[in-house]
Amino acid sequence: MNDALVELFRHKSWATLTLIEFCQSVPDEVLDATTPGTYGTIRDTLRHIVYTEEGYFARLTGKRLADPLPDGPAPLEELAARIKRLSPHWEELAQDAFVAVRKFTTSDGWRIPGAVVMAQVIHHADDHRTHVLSVLSARGVEGPDLDVWSFADASGEAMHVQVPSGETP
Give the percent of the chain with pLDDT over 70: 98
Cβ-based neighbours of 108, under 8 Å, separated by 6 or more: none
> Residue 43: which residues within 8 A CB-CB, separation 6 or more?
31, 32, 73, 74, 76
Q: Tell me the pLDDT tens digit for each residue of 51-109.
A: 999 999 999 999 999 999 998 889 999 999 999 999 999 999 999 989 989 999 888 89
Give the chain's domain count. 1
Q: Residue 158 and residue 36: Cα distance in Å, rounded?
A: 36
CATH number for 63: 1.20.120.450
Q: Supply the range of the domain harboring residue 21.
A: 3-25+37-154
Is 162 contained in some domain? no
β-sheet bridge partners, residue 112:
104
Instruction: Give the confidence band of 162 by pLDDT, cuts at 50, 70, 90.
Output: confident
Q: What is the pLDDT of residue 1?
A: 47
Considering the domain boundaries, does residue 169 fall inside one? no
How many helices (H) and strands (E) are present in the chain, helices listed first?
A: 7, 2
Entry pTM: 0.92
The CA distance from 155 to 1, in Å, is 21
Long-range (24+ apart) CB contacts under 8 A made by 98-101 are 99/60, 100/1
Q: How confident is the model at residue 169 (pLDDT cuts 50, 70, 90)?
A: low
Asked if residue 165 belongs to a domain, the reply is no
In a domain, 160, yes or no: no
Q: Across the chain, what does the average pLDDT equal?
A: 94
